[in-house]
Amino acid sequence: MSALWIILPLLGGYVAHAPVLRFDWLRPLARPIDAGASFRGKRVFGDNKTWRGALVMFGGVVAATLLLSAAPSVANHWPAPLREHTLAYGLLLALGFVAGELPNSFLKRQLEIAPGQRRLSALGVTLALFDQADFVPGIWLSLSPLWCMTVNQAAIVFAAALLIHLVINVIGYAIGARKSWL
């Protein structure tokens, strides 16, 4: 069983979020999760972590999990506890995905790294790389009530997410949709 099958429903979050951002739908929910709060004089998460993004990504992951559970060619690759408790799996996966990005955002704000910006230092590059797959520890923890991912599985998921994200970033940079490749 490949750990990558377990995170396949995460694509639903991205698919749901893209048109919402592109067409600026659900504008009233585009409010920062931290409501402008600060810690030690610095924003907790910043303006880019919004209720709109959290709710749309969450809903997209849950919907994708439920849809994929109806496809035996996908669901049969999931561990039995995830197949048997599909809704719980989708909810926990979505929770880990959304919440998993928050600690890294908090750390970057405390280090005064603006959203979408990078530092050209060892710590800055490390944070930029971690940012590409920062949700993995979140889903590892959130899925634990149903199923425990091994260290090897988590490493595979992290490496794959990092690689896929980097490829997407390079393509985005090449077509002018991003300001940097990282």
pLDDT tens digit sequence for 9-20: 999 999 899 889
- Domain membership of residue 175 (yes or no) is no
Domain that holds residue 83: 3-149
- Domain membership of residue 155 (yes or no) is no
Between 169 and 80, name the one with better pLDDT.
80
- Domain membership of residue 180 (yes or no) is no
**Helix or strand or coil: residue 47?**
coil
pLDDT at 166: 87
- Domain membership of residue 43 (yes or no) is yes
CB atoms within 10 A of CB 30: 15
**Distance from C-alpha of 130 to C-alpha of 132, rounded to nearest angstrom:** 5
- pLDDT-above-90 percentage for the chain: 74
pLDDT digits (tens, 9 = 90+) for 99-148: 999 999 999 999 998 877 778 888 888 888 898 899 999 999 999 999 99
pLDDT digits (tens, 9 = 90+) for 84-103: 999 999 999 999 999 999 99
DSSP state for residue 50 in the 8-state scheme: B
- Please tell me the pTM assigned to this model: 0.93
150-169: average pLDDT: 91
